[in-house]
Amino acid sequence: MIVLRYAKVFLVLTLGLFFTQFAWAQVRVYIDPAEKQLCYSESTTLAVKIEGLVQNAPLRGYQVHLDFDSTYLEVSGVAAFQEGEFLSAVGSTQWYLIEENGGYTATCSILDYTQGAYGTGTLFYVTLKAKDQSTGPDGTDVLLSDVILRQPLNQAISYEPPGSCNIVIEPPHIYTGLKVFLQGPYVTGGSMTHVLSDDGYLPLTSPYDASLTLTAFPDVSPRYIVDWIYIQLRAASTGPSEQPQSCFLLDDGTVVDVNGNPKLAFFLTGGMQYYVVVQHRNHLEIMSAQPVAFSTDPQTATVGDLTLLNSVYGGNVRGVYAVEPTVLALCSGDADQDGIVGPVDARIYWRLEAGMLHGYYVADFNLDGNVQPNDRNFYWRTASGKISQVP
């Protein structure tokens, strides 16, 4: 009986220790938020938090080291740090910060006798400022390390590996508006047909970027979506194209982003003027004759109108089509996107899809959802021999 009683006591103690250790093992120190996007010179305040503390293993003091890459982020010294309310809500605290080992170590403890703090709360805050240096899409990490957690009687509290915060720093945005027409769906009076969207043939996945799939089309009323269109920028007329963006072309020639915004946003990577390159899946590519002015404010951004005479690089004849005497449009008929409306577009691409109905086809040069003789005999033939003038 004595042996059995001792065995029961041992079992209870063992289970108690097990569950205490189990509770401690759920303690987590982390950064909120875990992800953040900033533009150049923009600041953000991060909260270093703790969760999972139980009443029988409360917190009386801590030490946490915070580190970040000074290539991308900076702080205004110790003034950028502020004590959180988790421990100070329980009693008077001693809080101090040391700059060391390429980062900052925050230390705080409750001075008076206390049962400690448990539950979830904020240990401290830090305000970080982005430098004028892009991190790229992978971002840069704010890290926590050398964490020490103590109970009221100085026992150590175990914890899971501390969390981090990934910060992506991007250049600021600049904006412009854009207007273009396509020869294929153009009708008189400065508008285009919109059969593809009306009849449900328009795909939610961009034909220029297979990784971009929308859950729904944007509301552009009272206008209508004609088709997807692809916009890129060039710092110089013969330089490389950059910042490609899948957009929508509306029936009045307005280009909007995938959210329906008529002022297109790009990153400021150089000056405030760029050549704008416009590409469509079965029309000839064009580029603005002159750099288009951008603005840091979408409300004041002007519209680059590439339907006007002399607005397109290479002149008003070879690489564009005059749908009206003073109105330019991208030439239809370039099914293979080689920059030429030539025999291959008709003999191969049109022939392969001829007779196809009610769909989204590359040889559907007038964008009515069907591939019929008029796509070849009128739209391809009237533009045959045209060559894109984009260098």
Nearest in space to 299 (alpha carbons), one of 263, 267, 274: 263
| 257: confidence class by pLDDT, cuts 50, 70, 90 | very high
> Is 78 or 186 the better-scoring residue by pLDDT?
186
Residue 164: name the closest of 30, 293, 69, 273 by CA.
Answer: 30
pLDDT at 20 (0 to 100): 41
Residue 9: pLDDT band with limits 50, 70, 90? very low
Fold (CATH) for 27-170: Immunoglobulin-like (2.60.40)
Distance CA 351, CA 373 (A): 10
* Res 7: pLDDT: 36
Q: pLDDT band for 1, please (50, 70, 90 cuts).
A: very low
Residue 224: pLDDT above 60? Answer: yes
Q: How many CB atoms are closer than 10 A to CB 304?
A: 24
Query: What is the pLDDT at residue 114?
Result: 77
Return the pLDDT at 270.
82
Per residue in 194-216, pLDDT (tens digit) is: 999 999 999 999 999 999 999 99
- Closest residue by Cα to residue 143 from 61, 65, 45: 65
- pLDDT of 250 > 70? The answer is yes
Q: Which residue has the higher pLDDT, 8 or 388?
A: 388
Which letter, b or e, does each residue of 207-246 get, where b requires 16 or more Cβ atoms within 10 Å of its Cβ?
bbeeeeeeeeeeebeebbbbbbbbbbbbeeeeeebeeebb
Which pLDDT value is given to residue 244? 98
Residue 376 has pLDDT above 70, yes or no: yes
Residues 156-166 have pLDDT tens digits of 999 999 999 99
Domain ranges in the chain?
27-170, 173-383
pTM score over 0.85: no
At 296, the pLDDT band (50, 70, 90 cuts) reads very high
